[in-house]
């Protein structure tokens, strides 16, 4: 099956790398010369979006929301009867359907770990039969895990798992710096923090623990962990993290609203 990716930025390239073993992948983007140089013959490349859309059995839009209407209008005829998957923030399924008329539409919100095929991608769709649902899931699972959600939650997902890696990175950076301040060499502090994040989340998943259950497992009366948590509570760390997610969510809602106006 052929997958035509329109857009060759970070998202588009990561998708292509993730699905290349299961699909014949093609690309088109704003600069054919740069695209050809990057591809090095590994992917089929087109110098225009229409020919790329004609080539693909499924079309993936990895472009900026600001040019979405012009691209969807451009490929409308070529996309007729095909599944079109959007990876654009704020562009609703209804708007895609309005622009693409006779196409089947879906949208996904990936996260930056897609660079190493470890994204968690929330997705929604409209009126897909089983065959096309299977194609959609096969695409999404090529670069990580996939979670089906109602589209009404997509802006919240953007704030949570879409922006979430940046919030996790800030927490990790703070812990690394604290380790260095406490005398641990930087390289070892970095490794300790990275593995602490990865292994803690693995424990939660594999044992089915809630976050509060895991915290209670570590925390003992009068111990070191409760002393650290006390400092976090004094600094309102929970509120700051929650507000970061909610701030991203509100911004995503603004983008969605502007795309409909």
Query: What are the helix (H) ranges across the chain?
Result: 10-19, 32-39, 49-55, 68-75, 93-100, 130-140, 154-157, 164-181, 186-207, 211-218, 224-234, 237-260
Alpha carbon distance 1, 136 (integer Å): 12
Could you tell me which residues are annotated as the binding site?
29, 49, 62-65
Q: How far apart are CA 69 and CA 232, in angstroms?
A: 45
Bridge partners for 25 per DSSP: 3
Rounded alpha-carbon distances, angstroms, from residue 116 to 10, 88, 142, 159, 226: 12, 20, 11, 21, 35
Extract the annotated binding site for NADPH. Answer: 49
120 backbone dihedrals φ, ψ, rounded to 5°: -110, 120
The binding site for NADP(+) consists of: 29, 62-65
- Whether 28 contacts 47, CB under 8 Å: yes
Could you give phi then psi for residue 82, rounded to 5 degrees? -105, 160
Q: What are the beta bridge partners of residue 144?
A: 119
């Amino acid at each position: 099956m052929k997958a035509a990716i329109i857009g060759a930025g970070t998202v588009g390239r990561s998708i292509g790398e993730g699905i290349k073993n299961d699909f014949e992948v093609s690309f088109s983007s704003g600069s054919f010369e740069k695209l050809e140089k990057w591809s090095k013959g590994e992917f089929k490349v087109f110098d225009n979006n229409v020919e790329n859309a004609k080539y693909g059995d499924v079309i993936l839009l990895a472009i900026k929301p600001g040019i979405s209407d012009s691209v969807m209008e451009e490929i409308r005829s070529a996309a007729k009867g095909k599944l079109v998957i959007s990876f654009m923030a704020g562009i609703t399924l209804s708007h895609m359907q309005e622009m693409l008329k006779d196409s089947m539409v879906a949208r996904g919100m990936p996260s930056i770990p897609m660079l190493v095929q470890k994204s968690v991608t929330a997705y929604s769709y409209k009126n897909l039969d089983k065959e096309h649902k299977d194609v959609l899931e096969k695409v999404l699972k090529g670069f990580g895990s996939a979670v089906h959600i109602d589209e009404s939650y997509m802006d919240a997902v953007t704030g949570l798992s879409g922006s979430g890696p940046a919030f996790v990175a800030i927490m990790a950076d703070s812990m690394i710096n604290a380790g260095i301040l406490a005398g641990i060499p930087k390289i070892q502090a970095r490794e300790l923090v990275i593995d602490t994040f990865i292994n803690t989340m693995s424990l939660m998943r594999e044992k089915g623990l809630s976050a509060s259950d895991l915290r209670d497992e570590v925390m003992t009366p009068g111990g070191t962990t409760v002393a650290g948590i006390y400092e976090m509570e004094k600094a309102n760390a929970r509120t700051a993290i929650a507000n970061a997610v909610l701030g991203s969510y509100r911004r995503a809602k603004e983008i969605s609203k502007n795309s409909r106006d």
